[in-house]
Amino acid sequence: MTAELTGLTAQDLLDGYRKGEFSPVDATRAVLARIEETEPALNAFVRVDAEGALAAAEESAGRWRRGEPRGLVDGVPVTVKDILLQRGAPTFRGSKTVRAEGSWPEDAPSVARLREHGAVFVGKTTTPEFGWKGVTDSPLSGVTRNPYDTSRTAGGSSGGSAAAVAVGAGPLSLGTDGGGSVRIPAAFCGVFGLKPTYGRVPLYPASAFGTLAHVGPMTRTAADAALLMDVISGPDPRDWSGLGPAVGGFREGIQGGVRGLRVAFSPSLGGQVAVRAPVAAAVRSAVERLAGLGAYVEETDPDFTDPVEAFHTLWFSGAARVTQRLSAAQRELLDPGLREICAQGARMSALDYLAAVDVRMELGRRMGVFHSTYDVLVTPTLPVTAFEAGVEVPRGSGLRRWTGWTPFTYPFNLTQQPAATVPVGVDGDGLPVGLQVVGARHQDGLVLRVAHALYEAGVAGLDAP
């Protein structure tokens, strides 16, 4: 039963609980067994709380027996990226500079909503130090590996969450995305990931990376992501920049299909990105299927040049702020790459920062105008598939930083738009390929709807590794 249960979506589990076919205890035991089986090779967790998870699952099973489930995900095993606070557990954020001592009394807003809805917390997943880069390795926890090929990276910075979902170590996970950190590892690990509109999922404590950082679901399907969004998207008074309640439910909104939608397909952002042939072919095939489902597809490009320098200014200065209060001895413990960008960020001025904000605002204006013509933009999520684990950039690429191979993701953190990655195939080495769907701000439901249509048509989704 272990393999059967770990292969189920959250909605499948809830249906089984409702029918009495199995219990939250069965599901949690299966997930814990799966973690024990896969963790030595993957290194996706910094903490597994088997005792706490089983106790919570027992309580949930009692509620289901009484016909009184607490909420929308009662008894579903979930994992949480170790950037987000979880009551009673240290949040190390991938750093040796964070001490475990203390009571850790507070949940992040998204974690609190999951707790209110009866979720079973299985463990905290790995992240690079303070979530600073697009792969997952850190001085604290080492290298997290790809479940499709453990010599390859899982991506980052939510790499532990992506790997966990891919292998069946819980169907729901919370990630964070400041420049692609949900979408990058989801694409590399063959799962679904959504970066919602900024503020749609409240965040506390506020990120030092400012309004680039979003919290989002990582799941096997768009339908499960819609379920998770219905749980975590409510406002929280601790987030002053959070949005008000969403209008309508995300689960109901995914059923509309794509007929009549205006889809812009940009295979390379106007020739700015060199996309590997297997990635380009898989994405184009999926886009052709959208057209076959009734969408109006036009191959066209959004009107912007690569905003990487502006992103670097905001990102590097944010990293400098994260580490500002560390002592000289603590700085020696940092990831060398992080230490390098912190030094760059510390040299930037307020005028540098405001100039980057100007670029950001102009990019947002351009995308707003673009979406007055097109409902969604579709691109590859990444131009490459997963490369060697333990390095920031592919060897021999000539690239310096992780942003060099993620040009499709970080622009939409600058604009705060919703963007999802959908697994649409594999390359010749069996490594997953992701397609990105980007919507106008506040159109999270539409992004989920397009993604769900690809799943319903059999275009999206991969066999578990």
Pairing of strands 376-380, 262-265: parallel
Whether 38 is in a domain gets the answer yes
Place of tokens 């292998």: 167
pLDDT at 102: 84
Give the range of the structural domain holding residue 68, as residue numbers without chain letter: 2-456
Residue 462 maps to a domain: no
pLDDT score recorded for residue 234? 85
Which SS3 state, helix, strand or coil, does residue 116 take? helix
The pLDDT, as a whole number, for residue 416 is: 98
Is residue 25 in a domain? yes
Task: Give the predicted TM-score (pTM) of the model.
Answer: 0.98
pLDDT of residue 332: 96
The verdict on residue 337 lying in a domain is yes
| Strands 77-81, 120-125: pairing kind | parallel
Peptide bond into 105 cis (omega under 30): no
Strand partners, 120: 77
* pLDDT for residue 154: 98
Q: Could you tell me if residue 461 is inside a domain?
A: no
Of 322, 301, 324, 320, the residue nearest 312 (C-alpha): 320
**What is the rounded distance in angstroms from the CA atom of residue 360 to the CA atom of residue 416?**
10
Task: State the total domains in the chain.
Answer: 1
Return the pLDDT at 241: 93
Residue 463 lies in a domain: no
Query: pLDDT digit of tens for each residue in the chain (465 aa)?
Result: 666 999 999 999 999 999 999 999 999 999 999 999 999 999 999 999 999 999 999 999 999 999 999 999 999 999 999 999 999 999 999 999 999 998 899 999 999 999 999 999 999 999 999 999 999 999 999 999 999 999 999 999 999 999 999 999 999 999 999 999 999 999 999 999 999 999 999 999 999 898 999 999 999 999 999 999 999 998 999 999 999 988 889 999 999 999 999 999 999 999 999 999 999 999 999 999 999 999 999 999 999 999 999 999 999 999 999 999 999 999 999 999 999 999 999 999 999 999 999 999 999 999 999 999 999 999 999 999 999 999 999 999 999 999 999 999 999 999 999 999 999 999 999 999 999 999 999 999 999 999 999 999 999 999 999
Residue 465 covered by a domain: no
CA distances from 336 to 112, 129, 181, 208 (A): 34, 10, 20, 19
- Residue 403, domain CATH: 3.90.1300.10
Q: Are 248 and 272 in contact (CB under 8 A)?
A: no
268 is a domain residue:
yes
Just list the catalytic residues: 81, 157, 181
